[in-house]
Amino acid sequence: MSLDPATVRRIARLARIHLDEAEVPRLQDELNSILGWIEQLNELDVADIAPLTGPAQMALKMREDRVTDGGIRDAILANAPDRAGEFFVVPKVVE
Amino acid sequence: MSYVIEGSTGAWEVVIGLEVHAQVVSQAKLFSGAATAFGAEPNTQVSFVDAAFPGMLPVINRECVAQAVRTGLGLGAHINLVSRFDRKNYFYADLPPGYQISQYQHPIVGAGVIEIELGDGSTKSIGVTRLHLEQDAGKSLHDQHPTKSYIDLNRAGVALMEIVSEPDLRSPEEAGAYLRKLRTILRYLGTCDGNMEEGSMRADVNVSVRRHGEPFRTRCEVKNVNSVRFVMQAIEVEARRQVEIWEAGGAVDQETRLFDAARGITRSMRSKEEAHDYRYFPDPDLLPLVLDEAWVATLKAALPELPDAKRRRFMDEYGLPFYDSAVLVAEQATADFYETIARGRDAKLAANWVMGDLFAALNRTGRTIETSPVSAAALGALLDLMADNTINGRIAKEVFEAMVDTGEAPGAIVERKGLRQVTDTAAIDEAVTAVLAANPEKLAEYRSGKEKLFGFFVGQVMKAMAGKGNPALVNAALKRQLG
């Protein structure tokens, strides 16, 4: 598998990363070499092995349905780039 | 009668599938301990997990899982004992992590079925493809500032069940019936409050059109429609739009659209190029969700009687027609109210009173069954007064109105207003004699064969007795004297 320049630009846009056109060939090379490295996994025969979500052979731990958090608005908003009173503020996004 | 859209080149069938997002009833959020209550001050029900602060890890809420399982069981669906959470990646200001935790390839609930009831009394089975758990996003307010959007994350991370139907629906009416039925089931189960105004239930509507007998054509998804009425309208306008495109020789593009209720149109929402490129992958923060079969069985054993079963029981146990049963079971509170009255009484009469006088009174007073001005016990007592001949049916209506107005017990109203039915045959005979004497012309007409005047005489006698005569005795006395 190898990525063409259009796919590299598309991945960048989906990730909201600005790319100068000059950067595309370098990133294309880097991504392709990463993909090539990952593709070595395809050499393994996993036909009889169940898919694995994580390395730990255990199930998800569950929590009781109790309110134990929240009520910390100032801490939540402390790092907001912009805020107005009790809200986060962002550039207008309207569909 | 099947629903079709008549185009300029012939009839078109509409194919509809619904994805319903139902907010799970729980105290805390799906993966954090912040509260879920509606209407709190902005950003006060947000944990560091919900705001996606670095290093914060999700821990799943057992009750949210239980609610999804209960819902699956209520839909007669397959429960997947092993399911998995995936990240659905997209950027939006009210989604702090840049992804929604959802279930893509391995949902917690598989295929099920919902039986819908249509206006002509028929029923139809609609397939449910799957149900999965996912997080809700926050809320954006766009009208607070000319160039800025304000973000409230209280809703971010609240558990949702996405319930996906098969493309089995064929008309706006069927889609409406499906939504209402699903809402009823969820409310019975207590897994979603079904409150569409507060956004507890929202629907994405997939619509396509085709000629009868054709395979499916390209569909469009109309996002985030928040009432049954709007869903029905959106289907109609979107189907018409597609018919016009096909008939003009064009092709419908698969895309996401928005329903503009004010203008009665749907419009394109996202550029097609980037639509649905969510780059799902298993969430590395979460292990597989593995359910204990015995736990699922415990949840199943504790399920309440569901609407379809209750409707069948009402038909068998109380001898009610399909329609009455369906109306009475639509809300559990109504069904309970009805049963309190019907037990040990005339069940059909009880149904008539609940669906007639009581519903009318609730409408008029703006109350619900839960806040009814007349309790089930009081309405039952009124029926008892009719059954033991203390009052007749006409007086009962008058007593009922007084009960609605004053909240007084029916027996007290009857005594206070002196409405007790007259069963004294001498008094009734006296009234009959007086009425016949006062209407000699009508009497002559009756005797010359105009027998339908009998009803006139009954009315006059009842009027003379202020409505309190026992109708059977009045009839008998009239027959005797006219005889």
Segment B85-98, tens digit of pLDDT: 999 998 888 999 99
Residues of A in contact with B258 (CB under 8 A): 95
Mean pLDDT score of chain B:
93
pLDDT at B331: 93
Among the partner-chain residues B46, B65, B84, the one whose CB lies closest to the CB of A53 is B84
Residues forming beta bridges with residue A69, ordered by sequence position: B34
CA distance B260 to B316: 45
CB pairs under 8 A between A and B: 142
Question: What are the Cα distances from residue B56, in Å, to A67, B51, B99, B245, B286?
Answer: 17, 9, 14, 49, 12
Residue range B393-434, pLDDT digits in tens? 888 999 999 999 998 999 899 888 888 888 888 888 888 888
Q: What mean pLDDT comes out for the span B23-42?
A: 96
pLDDT over 90 at B444, yes or no: no
Q: What mean pLDDT comes out for the span B341-361?
A: 95
Residues forming beta bridges with residue B422, ordered by sequence position: B469
Helix boundaries (H) for B141-227: 172-189
pLDDT at B414: 87
Contact predicate B185/B161, CB 8 Å = no
Between B187 and B449, the more confident residue is: B187
Task: Give yes or no for B64 touching A (CB within 8 A).
Answer: yes
Fold for domain B425-482?
Answer: Arc Repressor Mutant, subunit A (1.10.10)
Q: How far is A10 from chain B (nearest CA, A)?
A: 9
Give the mutation candidate from A10, A53, A64 for the B interface (greatest B CB count, under 10 A).
Answer: A53
pLDDT over 90 at B51, yes or no: yes
CA distance B392 to B100: 63
pLDDT band at B272 (very low <50, low <70, confident <90, very high): very low
Question: What are the Cα distances from residue B4, in Å, to B14, B228, B235, B318?
Answer: 7, 20, 12, 38
pLDDT at B232: 96
- Interface residues of A toward B, Cβ cutoff 8 Å, are 13-14, 16, 53-54, 56, 58-73, 75-77, 82, 84, 86-95
Instruction: Flag if B44 and A73 touch (Cβ within 8 Å).
Output: yes
CA distance B266 to B110: 31
Instruction: Flag if B148 and A91 touch (Cβ within 8 Å).
Output: yes
pLDDT at B473: 86
Give the mutation candidate from B149, B223, B277 for the A interface (greatest A CB count, under 10 A).
Answer: B149
Residue range A28-72, pLDDT digits in tens? 999 999 999 999 988 988 888 877 656 666 778 899 999 999 999
Instruction: Flag if A92 and B32 touch (Cβ within 8 Å).
Output: no
Q: What mean pLDDT comes out for the span B44-50?
A: 97
Greatest mean pLDDT among B36-40, B161-165, B220-224, B465-469 lies in: B161-165
pLDDT over 50 at B206, yes or no: yes
Task: Give yes or no for B41 touching A (CB within 8 A).
Answer: yes
Q: How far is B173 from chain A (nearest CA, A)?
A: 29
pLDDT band at B308 (very low <50, low <70, confident <90, very high): very high
Q: What are the domain boundaries of chain B?
A: 4-299, 328-417, 425-482
Neighbours of B329 (CB within 10 A): 24
Task: Give yes or no for B91 touching A (CB within 8 A).
Answer: yes
Residue range B72-81, pLDDT digits in tens? 999 999 999 9
Question: What are the Cα distances from residue B323, in Å, to B229, B329, B357?
Answer: 22, 10, 17
Which residue from B minimizes the CA distance to A58? B287
pLDDT at A95: 58
Instruction: Flag if A84 and B28 touch (Cβ within 8 Å).
Output: no
Q: How far is A22 from chain B (nearest CA, A)?
A: 24
Nearest CA to B265 among B224, B226, B230? Answer: B230
Q: How far is A88 from chain B (nearest CA, A)?
A: 5
Instruction: Flag if A86 and B41 touch (Cβ within 8 Å).
Output: yes
Residues within 8 A of A (CB atoms), B 322-351 only = none
pLDDT cut 90: percent of chain B above it: 75
Instruction: Flag if B59 and A56 touch (Cβ within 8 Å).
Output: no
pLDDT over 50 at B105, yes or no: yes
Give the mutation candidate from B144, B150, B269 for the A interface (greatest A CB count, under 10 A).
Answer: B150
Which residue from B minimizes the CA distance to A56? B287
Instruction: Flag if B282 and A53 touch (Cβ within 8 Å).
Output: yes
Residue range B171-195, pLDDT digits in tens? 999 999 999 999 999 999 999 999 9
Contact predicate B93/B140, CB 8 Å = yes
pLDDT at B419: 82
B330: left (phi over 0), alpha (psi -120 to 50) or beta: alpha
pLDDT cut 70: percent of chain A above it: 92
pLDDT over 70 at B274, yes or no: no
pLDDT at B468: 84
pLDDT band at B276 (very low <50, low <70, confident <90, very high): low
Residues within 8 A of A (CB atoms), B 152-191 only = 152-153
Residues of A in contact with B270 (CB under 8 A): 95
Task: Give yes or no for B296 touching A (CB within 8 A).
Answer: no
Task: Give yes or no for B142 touching A (CB within 8 A).
Answer: yes
Residues of B in contact with A86 (CB under 8 A): 41-44, 152
pLDDT at A57: 66
Among the partner-chain residues A54, A60, A87, the one whose CB lies closest to the CB of B43 is A87
Question: What are the Cα distances from residue B34, in Å, to B53, B237, B329?
Answer: 14, 40, 35
Q: What mean pLDDT comes out for the span A17-24?
A: 92
pLDDT over 70 at B381, yes or no: yes
Instruction: Flag if B142 and A72 touch (Cβ within 8 Å).
Output: no
Residues of A in contact with B274 (CB under 8 A): 13-14
Q: How far is B51 from chain A (nearest CA, A)?
A: 7
CA distance B10 to B30: 49
